[in-house]
Amino acid sequence: MSSNNAPKKQPRSRYAVLGMLSMGLETGYEMKKHVEQNLGHFWSESYGQIYPVLRQLVEEELATCESENRPGERQRKRYSLTSVGWAELRAWLIRPPEPPPPRLELLLKLSFGRRLPIEACEKLVGDHREACGRDAAQLSSIESALRNAANRHPDQPFWLITLRYGRTLREAECAWCDETLEQLRNMREEDEQPSGSAVRE
């Protein structure tokens, strides 16, 4: 009852950094770039998190830091995982992720949709539809580029899994948008002839 047995919740950035260390990325700068270029479709991270986390990991001896730069080498700090770090990474990996409280702004807006002219709702959904279509296409092309890549990274199969996730979900959103747009069109047409042949109950 009293003992707080849970292993103390740590920020997710910490594990993102541990994971990137585990794949051989050595500097904070590299990690930021990797997030932007390769994980951008499902993760984001800022310097304001990365550098403090790296310092903290060294303090807790989950990672070590080499500050020395061989002369002529660009000044930078190279980090690497300790065995304790590996263990903590693995422990986190098998922990089932807990979903964050949902906050889907588009749906919130639509749930208040009656306060708007229907055309405005159609605009909201239409814009979203376009964005999703673009995203899906882009993910799809990254996917096939990666599949056909000459030099394949050992993590490649897992990257493909994440890409397929993004594509699948975007495609589903496109389908939802299309259905929704049709429904909105119907509502608008009903609105436009409230008299006519309408039978009231």
Partner DNA sequence: CTAGCCATGTAATCCGTTACATGATTGG
Partner DNA sequence: CCAATCATGTAACGGATTACATGGCTAG
- Which residue ranges make up the site for a second copy (CB under 8 A)? 12, 15-16, 19, 22-23, 39-44, 86, 89-90, 92-94, 96-98, 100-116, 120, 123-124, 127, 154-155, 157-159, 161-162, 164-165, 168-169, 171-173, 175-176, 179-180, 183, 187
Cα separation, 44 vs 5, in Å, equals 30
The listed partner (DNA, a second copy, none) that binds 49, CB under 5 to 8 Å by sort, is DNA
116 phi and psi, to 5 degrees?
-120, 155
Give the ranges where 7-72 is alpha helix by DSSP (H): 12-22, 28-34, 47-59
Q: From the CB of 92, what's the least distance to DNA, in Å?
A: 13
Residue 66 Cβ vs a second copy, minimum distance, rounded to whole Å: 22
44 lies in the binding site for DNA (CB under 7 A): yes
Structure tokens at 47: 């310097």
Evaluate whether 142 touches 159 at the Cβ level (below 8 Å).
Answer: no
* Residue number, 41 or 77, with CB nearest to a second copy: 41
- Give the Å distances, CA to CA, from 186 to 42, 61, 115, 119, 183: 35, 62, 17, 12, 5
Crossing angle of helices 12-22 and 83-94, in 10° steps, is 120
Q: Minimal distance in Å, beta carbon 22 to DNA?
A: 17
83 binds, among DNA, a second copy, none (CB under 5 to 8 A by kind): none
Q: Judged by CB under 7 A, does residue 159 bind DNA? A: no
CB of 75 to a second copy, least distance (A): 29
Site membership for DNA, residue 197 (CB under 7 A): no
Q: Which of 135, 145, 144 has the alpha carbon at shortest distance from 167?
A: 135
Give the tokens for residue 100: 């964050």
Which helix (H) or strand (E) segment is 41 a member of? Answer: none
- Using CB distances below 5 to 8 A depending on partner kind, what does residue 87 bind out of a second copy, DNA, none? none
The residue count for binding DNA (CB under 7 A) is 26
Determine the Cα–Cα distance for residues 26 and 21; give it in Å rounded to an integer: 6
Residues 57, 18 contacting (CB under 8 angstroms):
yes
| Interacting residue ranges for DNA, rule: CB under 7 A | 9-13, 27-30, 44-49, 51-52, 54-55, 72, 74-77, 101, 103
